[in-house]
Amino acid sequence: MVSGEPPLTQHLQDQGAGGGFQETKQRTHTPITIDKTPVERVNSFKFLCVHISEDLTWSTHTDAVLKKANQRLFFLRWLRKFGMSPIILKTFYTFTIESILTGCINAWFGNSTAGNRKALKRVVRTASHIVVGELPSLQDIYTRQCIRKARRIISDSSHPSHRLLSLLPSGRRLRSIRSRTSRLRDSFFPQAIRLMNSMPHTALYHQQFNTELYIHTAYYTFSSAVVCMVICKLFLQFLEHAPKNFTHQGTCAVVM
C-alpha cells in the first residue's frame, strides 16, 4: 500500500525528526553566571552614556539623545525670550545641547540610520532658528572628531589599536581595512582611514614627522640628562679622591 505522504515526510516521521524541529526552535542558551549569580539578559544597556542594543543598532541611543536635547531646547527658547544675546545662546547650545548630540559620536554616528540622522538634524536646525545663526552640522563634527581621534592613535604607539592605522610602504596613505558588511565599513576605523586618505598626503606626512620628531627629541633629551648625571657623579668621585694639597684653583684649572 502506497502512502499519500511524500517520501521525505514519511522518512522524517519514522526517524522522529518532527519533534527535533520543535526542539530546535525552543532551544535556549545556558545563562551566564558571575560568582554563581546569573546575568540578566536585557535588550539594551547604558555604558559610558551610550545605549548599546542587542541588535547593534543605535535607535535606542538616538531616541534617548533626542529626548534630552528636546528638553534643553525648552530652556534655550526661554533664554531667547529673556533677551539674551546670540553669543550667549550659542554658548548655551554648545555646552548643553551639542555636547549631548555629539557624545561618543565616533562610535555610533557612522552606523546610524538615515531616519536617526534626519531626527538629529531637525534638532540642530531648530536650535539654529532659535539662536538666529549658523551652527556646525553633526556630519562636520563627526568628520573632525574621527580625524582628531585617528591622529591621536597614530601618534601613540602604545595604543591597542595603533596597528590598525598603519602606513603603506609609500608612507602617503593608510592601509585600508577590508570590509564585507556595511556595518564594518561604516564603523570608526574604516571611516577614519578613508578620511585620512582623502586628505593631502602632506598633512599625513607632517603628522608622522611631528610624531617622530617628538620621539627623537624626547630620546635625546633623556640621553643628555643621563650623560650629565654620569659626568657629575664622576666629578664628585674625583673630588673625593683628590690629593689634600690639591687647591680649589687647581681643581678649576683641571676641569677647564
**Exposed/middle/buried for residue 243 (C-beta within 10 Å: 0-12, 13-18, 19+):** exposed
**pTM to 2 decimals?**
0.64
Cα 131 from chain centre: 30
Q: Is the confidence at residue 207, as pLDDT, over 60? A: no
Lowest mean per-residue pLDDT among 140-144, 202-206, 220-224: 202-206
Integer Cα distance of 99 and 203 in angstroms: 28
Alpha-carbon separation of residue 224 from 96, 220, 230 (angstroms): 48, 6, 10
Asked whether residue 96 is domain-assigned, the answer is yes
Question: Between these two residues, 203 and 102, which has the higher pLDDT value?
Answer: 102
- Please give the tally of structural domains in the chain: 2
Residues 49 and 161 in one domain: yes
Asked whether residue 15 is domain-assigned, the answer is no
Residues 195 and 230 in one domain: no
Confidence of residue 63 (pLDDT cuts 50, 70, 90): very high
Range of the domain at 112: 44-201
Integer Cα distance of 112 and 187 in angstroms: 10
Integer Cα distance of 104 and 145 in angstroms: 9
Asked whether residue 4 is domain-assigned, the answer is no
